[in-house]
Structure 1
Amino acid sequence: MTHRRALAGWSLALALLGAACTGPASVSSRGPAALAQPCPDGALVCTEASPGRLALIADGQPAALHADASDDAGVLRAVRNLQSDLGRVAGGSVALELEALPSSGPAVIVGTLGQSALVDRLVAEGKVDTTGVSGRWEAFVQQTVEAPFPGVDRALVIAGSDRRGTIFGVYDLAEAMGVSPWHYWADVPVQPQAALYVSPGRRVERPAVRYRGIFLNDEEPALGTWARETYGGLNAAFYEDVFDLILRLKGNYLWPAMWGKSIYDDDPAAPELAHEMGVVLGTSHHEPLSRAHVEWERYGDGAWNYETNADALQAFWRTGIERMGDNESLVTVGMRGDGDEAMSEGTAIDLLETIVADQRDIIADVTGQPAEETPQVWALYKEVQDYYDQGMEVPDDVTLLFADDNWGNIRRLPDPDAAPRAGGYGVYYHFDYVGAPRSYKWINKTQIERVWEQMHMAYEHGAREIWVVNVGDLKPMEYPISFFLDYAWDPDAWPAERLPEYPRQWAVKQFGEAHADEIGRLLQTYTRFNSRRTAELLTPTTYSLTGYREAERVVDDYNALLTDAERVGEQLPAAHQDAYFQLVLHPIVASANISELYATVGLNRLYGAQGRAATNALADRARQLFERDDAIDAQYHALGGGKWNHMMSQVRIGYTSWNDPPEDVMPEVETVRLGDAAEMGVAVEGSSGWWPEADAEAVLPELSPYGPDDVYVEVFNRGTAPFRYTVETGADWLTASEPAGEVDQQTRIYLSADWDAAPDGRQRVPVTITGAGRTVTVQVPVFNPSPAGITGFVESNGFVSIEAPHFDRAVVGDEISWQVIPGLGRTLSAVTPMPTTADAQTPGGDSPHLAYRIYVHEAGEVEVAATFSPSFDTQGPDGLRYAVSFDDAPPQTLVMHDEGSMLPDVYHADWSRMVSDNAQTSTSTHVLDTPGEHVLRFWMVDPGVVLQKLVVATDDLPPSYLGPPESPRVPGPTAAR
């Protein structure tokens, strides 16, 4: 255990009572411990009185707050905020005393060790235990103390090891009282309480990652326009609310907005406020020595080129360090080309090393102390990582900030066996990005499960000094921001098994217990749907219009989720409506709408090519959906009387390159001119053709008891006059859902089999469709195998499809296990070997692998397609390896990456496809000598491989985005051999 959360021992009396309490609360041995009753489930605060609990609010009367006027200004600000928060919860005023000692009633005492006489006195008297706090970074203790001062029966003492430790202890209490960190930024209401009690005992917390922060970026036109309208600009007033949010989320670090902005130059009060409140300021990866990029445009002299203009650049950077003064800062060093571009072709590693050495000389000269006394960070972003890989030397005290590929996939991490560095390592991560293959700035598409997997790997590899995430406009990334900072604070609190609990707990903090289960499911599901492909990358044919009913399933799933979200919203109190719309309903309704828009345009174009009468109605529907997108924005912008006007203004429809168009562009739709006479056309599931026009035979996908329940044909009109049709099947046991009827525009007819009556084996059954003077015959392949001996995942329609966590057996190694990551991936969940720092394995024998039992109907060659999360080989350029085999055959070792997918650059189509799809698929070919049961084995070779899905293809499969839906699984023996 590396964390950070220390618990005092339970009292003997409590142990004898059999009480169990998970989490950080524990019972102090001081006072009447034998009677002390912690709050249920380890909660810091609860609503019921019980022995030993401190009355934070009793009969509507709040406890008084006490602090030392000589404490840090940021601490005193946090205490005053607590005063306001407690007042809102209690519905009345709260006393705050900064001078006199507490003399009556329950009290809340706040102070920093060494800066608060109140707290130091209690420590000296042995009433407050600072074990695990004193001398630590940002640690705090919350401890109930009996009779701390004469006349005071009980107090809650919040003591921090330093100023931010105290601040975090204060805001931790505020959140436990029911004040969400998002109370301003997402309008989360405060629920008034007539009574609140603090659990007895002692609770210690401290962070796992030293610097934990966010980067406001790509902030135009949404956040920037909103801030100008709300605050007059991104000024100190704006940043005050940003700093407050960061601290309430237990973050401590900010890269401020920099699109044409400079926090230092635009409003010098803002960086001073950051220091006062306790937020560490930095600048982005390409803004050295605390100078914003735009400042070179404003004040720079000559070219941004160190080879030709070193003197001007040094003077420019010197001003940044002088201006920084004594404010707590993390100084970015290094240099990229002008405008966040790579440096000029041929730039030598030696030059970058010289630049950093000169920058450190400036730091030392201005601060009057060795450079290593000033915290510094060098971002190994894009091409800078390549320089590092080639041997670029970095001073030991400088934090190396590894980066993802801008799409949430970490490129490089330190060797777990590497010698420790004084500056340590960090990670720069993305929830938002402007660049190739397509910018994504509009809506949350990030799964917290993916954040967990990547940042868990980073933490285990020793990247624990800095975690900073690009959050774009801040809104609407509230949910993943919360997780990112919560996980940075305490990774041990969130093992993979507990990930499904996080959305529920987050829902409780925003909306209360009543609907938390449902809201948690909504959060987890919409982020899985959105993660499949960003809205900006969607096209009318992203999801197959013909294979596996994929496009309509995706639209139906979104709309079903929307129905659930609307139902939950209707049950929430009026006070929660604005917050619910922002945090839950909006990302669902907006994403469902844009998904349906593109699918509708795709169908419209398909129908247009077939001359269907329904073509024009779909064009109208697409236009309605496009207009509805604007209406959804307007609804968001009208919340709170227009509080969030402009916040959803990022363009998302109509991209044709990496960069966004100036405004959303309606996709082109088809219209047709129809004749007066009726004209029948027939389309079959799985094909874009139509009959009788097509030359090929009309053949449906195979019907099987191990496949979908039915297949369909569509009878459509190519004219304006309606017509009658009939459907006749060539077997009594094959039935049509609508064997006769009238077609105005089109109708879908489902064909299904009575398997008790259907003959064994394979046959083709003709289905004859007649209407408007035409006859079309469609062939229905039917396969009814004998069920004897069939077990495992059963082949149908040429494939066996398996979700990764549905293995029959997981074979582990001496130090290696298999971890299911619930909810991760495009379709269900993922599986990965642990630990992430394990050595590579040689596949075969009893080495770690997953076994899946399958059943195929014929012998022959098969192709196995393994779908992975788009992870990188963080230890080198070779790509991540895995192995596949069947039964007892030797494993085939494969590399999951295509040649260019390890090279994140606009020119590498393999990488662009991988991140666009948010998945990487790799295939292998095998021969199965016999029909029947086989065991598919997926072998670990390298750690870091995250498996989502396996598809065994026995025939050519139709194109699809998500792959075939999972095959049915017939129970059999409990473990694969």
Structure 2
Amino acid sequence: MRDLFLSAALTALIPSVAWAAPDCSGPVVACKRAMPGALSLLTPGRVATIVIDARDEPGVARAATDLVADLKAVGGGDVRLARDVSGDATIIAGTLGHSAVIDALVTAGKLDVSGLAGQWEGYVEQVVDNPAPGIARALVIAGSDRRGTIFGLYDISAKVGVSPWTWWADVPARRHPILYLTAGRVADRPVVKYRGIFINDEEPGFGNWARTKLGGVNHLAYEKVFNLLLRSKANFIWPAMWGKSLWEDDPASAPLAQEMGVLLGTSHHEPMQRAQADWKREGSGPWDYTKNAAALRAFWRKGIERRGRAEDPVTIGMRGDGDEPMTEGTAIDLLQRIVRDQRKIIADVTKRPATETPQVWALYKEVQDYYDKGMRVPDDVTLLFADDNWGNIRRLPPIGARRAGGAGVYYHFDYVGGPRNYKWLDTNAIPRVWQQMRMADDYGADRLWIVNVGDLKPMEYPISFFLDMAWNPKRMGLAAMQAYPARWASEQFGASHGAEIGTLLTRYGQLASRRKPELIDATTYGYTDGEWARVLGEWNALDAQARRVGPTLAAGLKDAYYELVLHRIEAMTNLHRLYEAVAANRAAAQAGDAAKARRFAEAARGYFAQDAVIRRRYEVETAGGKWTSMMAQTHIGYTGWQQPDTDVMPALATIEKPLPLPPVAPKPPVRIAADAGRAVDGRGIRWQRVPGFTAEGAAMVATPNTVPVIERPGGDSPHIVYDVNWARGSPVTLGVVTAPGLDVRGGGKHRIAVSVDDGAPIILNLMEGETEERWGRSVIENRRAASTALPALSAGKHRVILWLVDPEVVVEEVTLSPL
């Protein structure tokens, strides 16, 4: 019945946008005017009643209570919760087998739940006539399980105009005292089974905020996080782990997750439902299975005992203490013994075969080496592949491989580690996230998607995208991804502002993806060649555009606009102004212009001070001071991979003490945009143009990316032809610039081929000679490049041809440089 669910889910990826459609088209869409067969949801002077069965799960009652509050916020009238249908009912919600009224409607043939029974987190929304005596019409929400019902309830909240970010980003409900739901039926369910976030690297931002506002990272904080997840149709979390234990810090947190329906896991280096902090507090002896196996087994057993009868997936395996490698080299026999012993503990404690408890083996960093060298775990265990901490997936399951436990991806929006931390702001361009996660889905990694989100704020926008895509990756096609910024902005700010704010978010992502702010300094771009002026000009233009939009918004949207849009633009623009002024100061000092050097030094000091003003604006002046400490992350003055203790003013120059300028860059090559040529499809492969992939423009992506590698490009194989008018005869270097991707197939190659005119294709391996340093440079610059020297190219017209070899390569640019 999968096709029924996919075809029946006719609402958009962000259902709450649909209410604003002028024609009120589609089933179960919120509409401001009556339509044939529509349900009157909100009417002044009439009570709206939501009915749930007292026998249903506690999480369902919580979600129904939230929907009551949401409808009150939207309509401003009287909305109540009832436990039976003896009186009026506007919405009837319940879980199959847990709600007498839902089961009765199914038995009577009034509610169509075909394909729902037995599904994971599926739900049906249907406007039903005469659902019970005295009720002319009601919306009925039926879930296949408790989360299915919960997601159906929150789906209505979103449709009527309550954002999932209503609390976390201060997005107010959109007021509509009169509101209808159109007739019809909607059915939906997720494709990725486990979908969630990892709150990590949470100090000093999230941690200090929670301690200041809620008394700690406790159940009060997690209640807000869990609510956000469920409103976003997510179900899974790795909790904060820097010196913290969700289970032990506040004994109310884990039961709250169980009550609300959120699944708890532990991170890639915290096996058996035990936090690293648990071992620091309770452990005896070294974290070393070769020396302390009995103590570790006893420690892990308590984690499984504490888990009880929950559905929570269990992380298995082992890394070293403090998220370090377990041993020198790859001790496969040891790790296999650890996994066997852990599974025995799981079976002993649960009194069921280990195969009946969901388990995850995280192939993070060096753990992937075990997998690459042949280590395997039982078929029921989920293989959680990882990116390189910078958004480039390292490995995926073999094409066509299927295992009972499936596979998933651990992704990063935030990271602590080399070549440098990036924790301060959202710098994640949606097209790149889309390309990587689409590839994961194509390869069959659809059991678990989890993303490291740092402090949670200010990652709101990419979190929404990641979780929305996880619900049904194939539904997030290229067109849907391109439409997403405007749709998401409409959900937060209303349809009348969606397009312009979506444009701001898109352009911000493009510019911010050039380089993480922690990696920027005065030497990042050339000053004397005008590169700094060009880059800063782009940021200044975006900042000006964002400031023009703000005053056009209703007063109630100001806080949300600052948190979700303006702050990140303002902060990054100011940072670029700071470093451009420092570069100008140093150039003036080198040139012997003391007055100019002093003027730019003063400007730089002003921008450095402005950075603190911007932080205060976020933490103190926005939302009544709700977000104290959330922007406490240092970001200016890095000298190595680790953050400085405080932001440090960059060194300034005087004539007496000039600072060196970076060497003048060689003359730039002729750059050809990836999409400037004629794309020629072939062998069942076609080229996709992905607009806005970089700050400079579009990228070209091959689809499907699961086809066999083309070892001998040429003839009818996919290629792109670029017409070039070369000004003078000379030898040239022909190069290709790509996204900084990795070889997900495990062959150590990431290749493209080039040729000129009728010449034979020359294969370039973008990962040739890969070292830690070369990889670091690729993620710092967010690009890979390879080139080949060609003999003399005559003046005149030529055809430069780019040939596909490895389908995962994403082409951003072709370059030609005279030798």
TM-score relative to the length of structure 2: 0.96
Q: Give the direction of change, closer, same or farther, for the CA distance of 1:800–1:240 in structure 2 (3 Å limit).
A: same
Rounded to whole Å, the distance in 2 between the matches of 1:814 and 1:281 is: 45
Rounded to whole Å, the distance in 2 between the matches of 1:590 and 1:322 is: 47
Rounded to whole Å, the distance in 1 between the matches of 2:412 and 2:87 is: 51
Equivalent residue for 2:415? 433
Query: Which of these residues, 37, 41, 47, is aligned with residue 32 of structure 2?
Result: 47
| Structure 2 letter corresponding to 1:884 | V
Q: Deviations over 1:174-215 (max 9, x none)?
A: 001100000000000112111111121111111010000000
| Structure 1 letter corresponding to 2:346 | I
Query: Which of these residues, 470, 473, 498, is aligned with residue 455 of structure 2?
Result: 473
Equivalent residue for 2:19? none
Equivalent residue for 1:513? 495
Q: Give the direction of change, closer, same or farther, for the CA distance of 1:542–1:315 in structure 2 (3 Å limit).
A: same
Rounded to whole Å, the distance in 1 between the matches of 2:33 and 2:656 is: 72
Rounded to whole Å, the distance in 2 between the matches of 1:81 and 1:360 is: 39
Equivalent residue for 1:393? 376
Equivalent residue for 2:319? 336
Q: Does 1:584 align with 2:565?
A: yes
How much does 1:4 deviate? 7.5
| Structure 1 letter corresponding to 2:648 | V
Query: Which of these residues, 602, 610, 629, is aligned with residue 611 of structure 2?
Result: 629
How much does 1:231 deviate? 0.8
Q: Deviations over 1:90-138 (max 9, x none)?
A: 112212111x32544x611100011111111001111111123221110
SS at match of 1:200: coil
Checking the alignment, whether the CA contact within 8 Å between 1:235 and 1:270 is kept in structure 2 is: yes
Query: Which of these residues, 736, 742, 753, is aligned with residue 872 of structure 1?
Result: 742
SS at match of 1:352: helix
Checking the alignment, whether the CA contact within 8 Å between 1:140 and 1:206 is kept in structure 2 is: yes
Q: Deviations over 1:676-724 (max 9, x none)?
A: xxxxxxxxxx9969xxxxxxxxxxx9xxxxxxxxxxxxxxxxxxxxxxx
| Structure 2 letter corresponding to 1:274 | A
Q: Give the direction of change, closer, same or farther, for the CA distance of 1:2–1:488 in structure 2 (3 Å limit).
A: farther
Equivalent residue for 1:101? 85
Q: Deviations over 1:248-307 (max 9, x none)?
A: 001000000000000001011101000110000000000010110011111110000000
Equivalent residue for 1:490? 472
Q: Does 1:155 align with 2:152?
A: no
Give 1:518-917 correspondences, 5 Å limit: 518-547=500-529, 549-612=530-593, 613-638=595-620, 639-672=622-655, 799-807=669-677, 809-841=678-710, 842-900=712-770, 908-917=772-781
Checking the alignment, whether the CA contact within 8 Å between 1:3 and 1:490 is kept in structure 2 is: no
How much does 1:24 deviate? 11
Rounded to whole Å, the distance in 2 between the matches of 1:623 and 1:295 is: 45
Equivalent residue for 1:938? 802
Rounded to whole Å, the distance in 1 between the matches of 2:3 and 2:623 is: 41
Query: Which of these residues, 64, 69, 78, is aligned with residue 79 of structure 1?
Result: 64
SS at match of 2:409: strand
Equivalent residue for 1:769? none
Q: Give the direction of change, closer, same or farther, for the CA distance of 1:308–1:673 in structure 2 (3 Å limit).
A: closer
| Structure 1 letter corresponding to 2:699 | A
Rounded to whole Å, the distance in 2 between the matches of 1:516 and 1:38 is: 18
Query: Which of these residues, 157, 162, 184, is aligned with residue 174 of structure 1?
Result: 157
| Structure 2 letter corresponding to 1:910 | R
Equivalent residue for 2:786? 922
Q: Deviations over 1:142-178 (max 9, x none)?
A: 1111111122111111111100011001101100110
How much does 1:582 deviate? 0.4
Identity over the aligned pairs, expressed in percent? 50
Rounded to whole Å, the distance in 2 between the matches of 1:898 and 1:654 is: 33
SS at match of 2:676: coil
Q: Which runs of 5+ in 1 are unaligned?
A: 11-20, 26-36, 675-685, 690-700, 702-796, 902-907, 956-977
**More RCO (CA 8 Å, sep 6+):** 2
Rounded to whole Å, the distance in 1 between the matches of 2:745 and 2:9 is: 42
Q: Deviations over 1:549-608 (max 9, x none)?
A: 211111111011001101100111110000000000000000000011112111211221
Checking the alignment, whether the CA contact within 8 Å between 1:402 and 1:412 is kept in structure 2 is: yes
Equivalent residue for 1:959? none
Give 1:286-325 correspondences, 5 Å limit: 286-325=269-308
Give the number of equivalent residue pairs: 806
Checking the alignment, whether the CA contact within 8 Å between 1:103 and 1:150 is kept in structure 2 is: no
Checking the alignment, whether the CA contact within 8 Å between 1:329 and 1:375 is kept in structure 2 is: yes
Q: Give the direction of change, closer, same or farther, for the CA distance of 1:659–1:43 in structure 2 (3 Å limit).
A: farther
Q: Deviations over 1:905-947 (max 9, x none)?
A: xxx1001101111111111222354321111111001110001
Q: Deviations over 1:606-628 (max 9, x none)?
A: 22111113011111111100000
Looking at CA atoms only, which structure, 1 or 2, has the larger radius of gyration?
A: 1
How much does 1:7 deviate? 4.1
Q: Deviations over 1:10-53 (max 9, x none)?
A: 9xxxxxxxxxx97899xxxxxxxxxxx98236672111111111
Rounded to whole Å, the distance in 2 between the matches of 1:329 and 1:820 is: 40
TM-score relative to the length of structure 1: 0.80
Q: Give the direction of change, closer, same or farther, for the CA distance of 1:322–1:9 in structure 2 (3 Å limit).
A: closer
Equivalent residue for 1:15? none
Checking the alignment, whether the CA contact within 8 Å between 2:731 and 2:792 is kept in structure 1 is: yes
Query: Which of these residues, 237, 248, 259, is aligned with residue 220 of structure 2?
Result: 237
Equivalent residue for 2:50? 65
Q: Give the direction of change, closer, same or farther, for the CA distance of 1:43–1:450 in structure 2 (3 Å limit).
A: farther
Rounded to whole Å, the distance in 1 between the matches of 2:482 and 2:4 is: 23
| Structure 2 letter corresponding to 1:577 | K
Q: Give the direction of change, closer, same or farther, for the CA distance of 1:4–1:472 in structure 2 (3 Å limit).
A: farther
| Structure 2 letter corresponding to 1:937 | I
How much does 1:656 deviate? 0.6
Checking the alignment, whether the CA contact within 8 Å between 2:362 and 2:385 is kept in structure 1 is: yes
| Structure 2 letter corresponding to 1:498 | A
Q: Does 1:275 align with 2:139?
A: no
Rounded to whole Å, the distance in 2 between the matches of 1:578 and 1:168 is: 27
Q: Give the direction of change, closer, same or farther, for the CA distance of 1:9–1:352 in structure 2 (3 Å limit).
A: closer
Equivalent residue for 2:483? 501
| Structure 1 letter corresponding to 2:680 | V
Q: Does 1:133 align with 2:98?
A: no
How much does 1:898 deviate? 3.9
Q: Give the direction of change, closer, same or farther, for the CA distance of 1:8–1:295 in structure 2 (3 Å limit).
A: closer
> What is the Cα-based RMSD across aligned positions, in Å?
2.0
How much does 1:863 deviate? 1.2
How much does 1:448 deviate? 1.1
Q: Give the direction of change, closer, same or farther, for the CA distance of 1:62–1:805 in structure 2 (3 Å limit).
A: farther
Q: Give the direction of change, closer, same or farther, for the CA distance of 1:845–1:294 in structure 2 (3 Å limit).
A: same
| Structure 2 letter corresponding to 1:77 | R
SS at match of 1:260: coil
Q: Which runs of 5+ in 2 are unaligned?
A: 16-21
Q: Give the direction of change, closer, same or farther, for the CA distance of 1:102–1:925 in structure 2 (3 Å limit).
A: farther
Rounded to whole Å, the distance in 1 between the matches of 2:3 and 2:618 is: 40
Query: Which of these residues, 77, 86, 89, is aligned with residue 74 of structure 2?
Result: 89
Rounded to whole Å, the distance in 2 between the matches of 1:119 and 1:357 is: 44
How much does 1:437 deviate? 0.4
SS at match of 1:273: helix
Checking the alignment, whether the CA contact within 8 Å between 1:545 and 1:552 is kept in structure 2 is: yes
Rounded to whole Å, the distance in 2 between the matches of 1:563 and 1:260 is: 42
